[in-house]
Structure 1
């Protein structure tokens, strides 16, 4: 379809007024990996994007495409070399915001544009063809890194190395990890070790709406190895609200890092390890919560789209919650305590992309706003982190540019606290602020407000 015909079409002017619909991801179909077919679809969608350009400010994928078109001899897509297509793919980190908040041509519109899943398909083709570096495979092996780096003494060495300028220069040269990127700390006292002897609160659970009133915590790689305090805060807040909490007995990485790499077979292996464990807990009356939005999104959206006929995947989708979504549901039924002992003052709150696209509303803001004398300055813009994108040498400076409007908003707010549901987004903001002040997770803030 030519750009002229797109620009003049009635559908082009109006777009779709219906709610976005996601189609299942046909990743097990051999045609999914056909490079000729892939490039035909890339050309079709890129041409539509060129005629619209609403997403120019979301990330660097769209400016990369639009600049290449504008600098070409024809100033149309046909003047852009095919290698630039891969540059566009590399700059997409699957935040999903273009699909959920900007694009008027998503399904059920007849043009059927799903830019993030097209990028995912391209990443899968690139991965199958050996197009990613060993660095990329290593950075997405969160379980393996975490298990090694959380060994006592090893964690101290790793954390010291991550703060050492000579070591960071070496990491830059050897692996392509930018020396200015904030790297997560590792803890020998992981969340699973801290809660090894924890017993759920001995109270009768009170169902409310879809919630059973008792929760199994999917710790996540990051919550287990890098910021276990968040999980401890969650347990304290939930049990203060008479919600028994237990750990999921066995878990692996949710698969989101491997999804973003295009390693869909690794995602499938993680699914085979996690879903049976979660289904057993659900059958015993436990709801599931996870403290990192990307992990919740993996179970709520991506796995159901990869495995649309798997009843167990669907069951987990229907019983996993963002922690503040869960607390807000309890509040709606009069079961959330509001016995706060102090205010939070002003909180600059960045809404994580993978929380926004869950379509649950701003539940974190809703719950924190219950704290007396507390004002929430909500920032609905991407931090540019993505987990691995911001630490790679070739993307770090771009990631900081993407996050600059968020940093500016935090600086302008002059707030008592700044926060994000995504811990990595919080540290991206910290980096932009010059590392003078650390972020505080919303669950940490809520625990402070309760004084527990």
Structure 2
């Protein structure tokens, strides 16, 4: 419950085109105001490392107040924020329309943007966040085979640490031999449209960098579920990274370039009545929240926002309209399911859990749901300075996921899933398998 603010939180547009947005002195003054409120509240202390860092700085002052913290120390708080948005959406009682008007994540974004504009974001961080650049290796058989094998060696991980700032112990995704957007994935075989449905009867798939380059099987499983339900689909004509990795760095000009490439394409599908699905929650959130707040007056951006849906948001809506098949055949056993942060803050409810429970009405399924940050948080979980902190943040999740000795662990965020699997292995409590929720639905339907 939000003490002091009983209305739903609202978001102000991000005024990033205004030169005042980059006024460092003004940003520092606003941080002091917000940090003072956070220090007096402290209910977000368990969410991430930003708040313990802040509170330790305050507690180390002579009088235990924010005004005693040196402004240059504020950057240590900023650097620990990975824009999960949980403080804003689930904890803070002082978000707008409260008079204190507190938006911690977007204040951290402003600080990150100032840091980037000053040229203080390192080349390693910028390269690590360039997902389309890395993805060029995907789909080239000999190169993929060599890169995937070499990446598992100590020498290669040492080189990655040197070139990209990646911690040698952090899990890193391999490259796919065939990209999702190549070949069969472009065909869209399903062709039946149900008249009079309240949910869109046709789907456009935004592949995402991760599904396209790293785990195309997730996308293929989504297509199989759509085909089984006779839902026609297309893969969007062209796409590039949604911009979330660059947003986390404060590189707003790079985000704008991604926006300029993606929105005109996606807006066409939105205007033609497609639901646009993205299988990675961070990408979905980018189009649902961050880009609409960065470009609030752009009609195409708002149209894409209205059409963009989480896959399980869409499937549950189809079920409520009586249009989803429930002919599940295969038992899933004991499943520990993790709700990722960027899924929680979409304000859609626990849709994946809802569908799992629907499956459990037909076939054996023992479900445990864990709703807490895994600690992975994009590049935060793999960087040299923050990987161990990410594992520390995720420790309660690792324990909760292992509690019932699951057969399978699962998370809508595939990277969080691997991060959790690593944490469970290191704790000596691994599950038998890691599967994306879409893959589990495909298995439950009995589809090959």
TM-score by length of 2: 0.95
Counterpart selection for 2:321 from 324, 333, 345: 333
Partner of 2:445: 450
- Aligned twin of 2:114: 125
SS in 1 for 2:141: coil
Counterpart of 2:251 (choices 263, 266, 269) is 263
Residue 167 of structure 1, CA deviation:
1.7
Aligned to 2:419: 428
Q: 2:301 aligns with which of 308, 313, 329?
A: 313
Structure 1 residue 196: Cα displacement: 5.0
CA 1:164 to 1:194, structure 2 compared with 1: closer, same or farther past 3 Å?
Answer: farther
Which residue is 1:359 aligned to?
Answer: 347
Q: Secondary structure at the match of 1:217?
A: strand
Partner of 2:80: 91
1:144 is matched with which residue? Answer: 133
The 3 A distance-change label for structure 1 pair 131 and 102 is: same
Structure 1 CA distance for aligned equivalents of residues 3 and 440 of structure 2: 43
| Per-residue deviation, 1:417 | 1.2
CA distance in structure 2 between the partners assigned to 1:358 and 1:228 by the alignment: 24
CA distance 1:21–1:184, shift in 2 (3 Å)? same
Taking only aligned residues, the RMSD between alpha carbons, in angstroms, comes to 1.4
- Bigger Cα displacement from structure 2, 81-90 vs 290-299: 81-90
- Hey, what's the Cα distance between the residues in 2 that align with 1:134 and 1:206? 52
| CA distance in structure 2 between the aligned counterparts of 1:194 and 1:63, rounded to whole angstroms | 48
Contact 1:369–1:375 (CA under 8 A) maintained in structure 2: no
Taking a change above 3 Å as real, the CA distance of residues 147 and 203 of structure 1, as seen in their structure-2 partners, is: same
**Counterpart-to-counterpart distance in 1, 2:184 and 2:420:** 29
Distance 1:338 1:214 in 2: 19
The residue matched to 1:230 in structure 2 has which SS?
helix
Counterpart in the other structure of 2:46? 57
How far residue 157 of structure 1 moved from its aligned partner, in angstroms, is 2.2
Confirm or deny: 8 A CA contact 2:82 2:380 kept in the other structure.
Answer: yes
Aligned counterpart, 2:23: 34
For structure 2, the 5+ residue unaligned runs are none
SS across alignment from 1:360: coil
Task: Pick one of 45, 48, 52 that aligns with 2:37.
Answer: 48
Change (3 A) 1:420 1:233: same
CA offsets per residue over residues 307-356 of structure 1, 9 Å max, x none? 11111101010011100000000000111100011221221111010000
DSSP 3-state at the match of 1:179: coil
Q: Residue 208 of structure 1 contacts residue 329 of structure 1 at CA under 8 Å; is this kept in 2?
A: no
1:379 aligns with 2:363: no
Aligned pair in 2 of structure 1 residues 100, 199: CA closer, same or farther (>3 Å)? Answer: closer
Give a deviation string over 1:18-38, Cα, whole Å, max 9, x none.
100100000000000000100
Q: d(CA) in 2 for partners of 1:197 and 1:222?
A: 17
Question: Structure 1 stretch 73-82 or stretch 233-242: which is displaced more?
Answer: 73-82
Aligned CA distance change for structure 1 residues 189 and 75 (closer, same or farther; 3 Å): same
Segments of 4+ moved more than 6 angstroms: none
Q: Distance in 1 between matches of 2:205 and 2:160?
A: 34
**Partners of 1:374 and 1:385 in 2: CA distance:** 27
How far apart, CA to CA, are the structure 1 residues paired with 2:340 and 2:306? 21
Deviations 1:176-207 (A, max 9, x none): 21011000111130101143552331223445
CA apart distance, 1:431: 0.9
* Partner SS state of residue 23, structure 1: coil
Q: CA deviation at 1:377?
A: 0.9
Distance 1:234 1:446, change over 3 A: same
User: Counterpart of 1:440?
Assistant: 435
Secondary structure of the equivalent of 2:189?
A: coil
Shift of the alpha carbon at 1:169?
2.3
Cross-structure match for 2:282: 294
* Residue aligning to 1:392: 383
Counterpart CA distance in 1 for 2:186 and 2:18 is 45
| Deviation string, structure 1 residues 24-80 (Cα, Å, up to 9, x no partner) | 000000000000100000100001100000000000000000011112223211222
Aligned in 2, Cα 1:244/1:14: closer, same or farther, shift over 3 Å? Answer: closer
